[in-house]
Amino acid sequence: MQRAPWNRDRAQAIIDEHKHLDGAALPMLHALQHEFGHIAEEALPLIAHTLNLTRAEVHGIVTFYHDFRREPAGRHVLKLCRAEACQSRGGEALAAHAKARLKLDWHDTDAIGSVTLEPVFCLGLCACAPAAMLDGRVIGRLDRARLDNLLDEAGR
Amino acid sequence: MSLRLYVPRDAGALAVGADEVATALSVAAQRRNVAVEIVRNGSHGLFWLEPLVEVVTPGGRIAYGPATVADADSLLEAALNNAGPHALRLGPTAEIPFLKRQTRLTFARCGLTDPLSLADYRAHGGYKGLEKALAKTQAAIIEDVTQSGLRGRGGAGFPTGIKWKTVADAAAPQKYIVCNADEGDSGTFADRMIMEGDPFVLIEGMTIAGIAVGATKGFIYIRSEYPHAVATILAAIGIARREHLLGTGVAGSAYDFDIEIRVGAGAYVCGEETALLDSLEGKRGMVRAKPPLPAHHGLFARPTVVNNVISLASVPTILSHGADAYREFGMGRSRGTMPIQLAGNVKYGGLFETAFGPTLGELVDEIGGGTASGRPVRAVQVGGPLGAYFPRALFDTPFDYEAFAARDGLIGHGGIVVFDDTVDMAKQARFAMEFCAIESCGKCTPCRIGSTRGTEVIDKILRDEARDANLALLTDLCATLKFGSLCALGGFTPYPVMSAVNHFPEDFGPRPSLAAAE
């Protein structure tokens, strides 16, 4: 996923686009992350000023939610479901395989910035478990062969 | 008449190749130079058969599945042959036993219609509930919902009509309807299915709720893990606005009502209603103490109805068919139907809407067909990550709020996750504590810290370190979590942990490998 480099004016424009919404912080943060790939430190004072919050409050919001990244992710983000329904179909063994092949732990990005491995707790695909998501694309009935294909795809 | 096929657009079908199958069918049709219309419907919820391809015939829809891209040519051939023989042919969709045995009220249209066709929605009974509601007084609408016996389908089971009446009776310049679509429980996907497969029913239900309590604005808080549901609901809201079914003067009436979407950000605790309200307000999703109730002091401190997707989506059928018709289904104080979700290691995984009352054993063994792995069923977790693990010995428990509570469990949002005999219940108990530690909002000490300590204590038990003392400590810690937490995350984490300890004590004994090493 190609993301734009940090641009203060663009960031402020995104923040302004969302400031009229009730409870604007989350829509704003989602939009910023969509544009830049993560929530840069430089964005926090802009949000704080616009929403009349302290910078500490904005920091608190950003760090509360698992979705918001503080660092850029790899070009691909592979999310593997760790929740119970996927566990019952061998999800843990698949996660161990992915970690071993990528030499990564959860939340890590490989050295060449090609893939970030993340846990997810339920994609609602529990009747076709184990499930995964690669760059927003949903994958069910995951097995070792399909996972290897995804890892090949993500490694590029 | 051109050939008409249905291939679902539900994320559960997409995850196993529905888009690829639809494309392959369309390519195959072009190659043969035949006209084919492919409708992207919601899922019927028979996920072991997805991607399920249906062929429209004068005698009804004929199902084929699970289809792959490689089947596209032969499937089209069979379809053109009057929906004729094929290795994947399942016969008439409506006659598939898993579907035929259901009582589909809330999910009546899901799988049958094009989710974003308002004409299709209306042709299958849509907006009849709103029409009936508009002919009644606000109090009479609430009375219908109360009389139907509908209880919150998110998990808490609170009577919906009483909640609505509380908000209706509160005087305020602004009131809100908040739809909780933060369906985070593993093993559940009913909200996702209805939002992707029949979004107008949710919009209609929220509109009726808004009219009944005097709220002009609604929010749907959808989890970010459901991008397809977000897209479908957004599109449906756009259509409803264009058709004046949302906005000023809903459906030509004097009532105003509109809906906005907010997307969550990966925090499980935001499925708890007060944390959800804080998150909607743009804050950290911290749980609030109750009272004040959200019905009095909810979103932006205004009176707010917070209902689950399925509760709201059940309202149109209650209004259109009458409270008594809905109430006739069910048992005891659990009235109407419940979309039960069979998930995990189960042969026939999917959504099974039925009146309350079937036993857990019937659901798992008969409807679900046992495990997908073919091994014996050892445990099932009912009601998500905060629900208890049930052993086979308790499979006579009827699916009913009170019956599950009487056995130290909960039905929650209706998810059943099946495990075979390879499951290690101590590991499951450890996971419950770990999950609580990851997802705790941090407000209550027992939940914030106790969950991490709980994980450590279970690790000690597994290493056979002062096992009896640590089991006693774990039991004590669970009691502290249960009684010392504001919400169900800390309060209910003891259910999976203690049910694993109590029903599967053999898994908490000395590890065989350790015993052998001694």
What is the average pLDDT across B134-138?
Answer: 98
If asked whether residues B144 and B209 sit together in one domain, one would say yes
If asked whether residues A139 and A104 sit together in one domain, one would say yes
Q: Output the pLDDT for position B509.
A: 83
Domain count, chain A: 2
Assess whether pLDDT exceeds 90 at residue B511.
Answer: no
What is the average pLDDT across B189-212?
Answer: 98
Which residues on chain B are in Cβ contact (under 8 Å) with A65?
264-267, 285
Which of B390, B420, B450 is the endpoint of a domain?
B420
Q: Output the pLDDT for position B2.
A: 85
CATH number, domain of B361, equals: 3.10.20.600
If asked whether residues B231 and B318 sit together in one domain, one would say yes
CATH number, domain of B503, equals: 1.20.1440.230
User: pLDDT class for B518, splitting at 50, 70, 90?
Assistant: very low
CATH number, domain of B77, equals: 3.40.30.10
If asked whether residues B185 and B318 sit together in one domain, one would say yes
For B303-358, write each residue's pLDDT tens digit. Answer: 999 999 999 999 999 999 999 999 999 999 999 999 999 999 999 999 999 999 99
In a domain, A132, yes or no: yes
Contact: B16, A123; criterion CB under 8 Å: no
Distance CA B333, CA B259 (A): 32
In a domain, B320, yes or no: yes
If asked whether residues B280 and B185 sit together in one domain, one would say yes
Structural domain range at position A41: 8-64
User: pLDDT class for B516, splitting at 50, 70, 90?
Assistant: very low
Contact: B284, A60; criterion CB under 8 Å: yes
If asked whether residues B204 and B95 sit together in one domain, one would say no
Domain count, chain B: 4
For B461-509, write each residue's pLDDT tens digit. Answer: 999 999 999 999 999 999 999 999 999 999 999 999 999 999 999 999 8
Which residues on chain A are in Cβ contact (under 8 Å) with B284?
60-61, 64
Q: Output the pLDDT for position A155.
A: 78
In a domain, B383, yes or no: yes
Give me the helices (H) in chain A, please: 8-18, 25-36, 43-51, 55-64, 84-87, 91-102, 144-155
Distance CA A58, CA A34 (A): 18
Tell me, yes or no, if B18 comes closer than 8 A to chain A by beta carbon: no
If asked whether residues A113 and A135 sit together in one domain, one would say yes
If asked whether residues B210 and B132 sit together in one domain, one would say yes
In a domain, B113, yes or no: no
In a domain, B107, yes or no: no
Q: Is B95 helix (H, G, I), strand (E, B) or coil?
A: helix
For B212-254, write each residue's pLDDT tens digit. Answer: 999 999 999 999 999 999 999 999 999 999 999 999 999 999 9
If asked whether residues B63 and B79 sit together in one domain, one would say yes
In a domain, B484, yes or no: yes
In a domain, A2, yes or no: no
Nearest one of B132, B158, B148 to B326, comparing CA atoms: B148
If asked whether residues A84 and A37 sit together in one domain, one would say no
If asked whether residues B445 and B370 sit together in one domain, one would say no
If asked whether residues B227 and B285 sit together in one domain, one would say yes
Contact: A121, B423; criterion CB under 8 Å: no
Nearest one of B157, B183, B492, B158 to B351, comparing CA atoms: B183
Which residues on chain B are in Cβ contact (under 8 Å) with A83?
186-187, 385
Q: Output the pLDDT for position A1.
A: 58
CATH number, domain of A92, equals: 3.40.30.10
Tell me, yes or no, if B499 comes closer than 8 A to chain A by beta carbon: no
Q: Output the pLDDT for position A154.
A: 84
In a domain, B268, yes or no: yes
Task: Using 70 as the pLDDT threshold, list the residues of chain A that sit under it.
Answer: 1-2, 156
Q: Output the pLDDT for position B517.
A: 45
Which of A64, A89, A106 is the endpoint of a domain?
A64
Tell me, yes or no, if B183 comes closer than 8 A to chain A by beta carbon: yes
Distance CA B228, CA A71 (A): 26
Structural domain range at position B323: 121-327
Tell me, yes or no, if A31 comes closer than 8 A to chain B by beta carbon: no
Total CB pairs under 8 A between chain A and B: 158
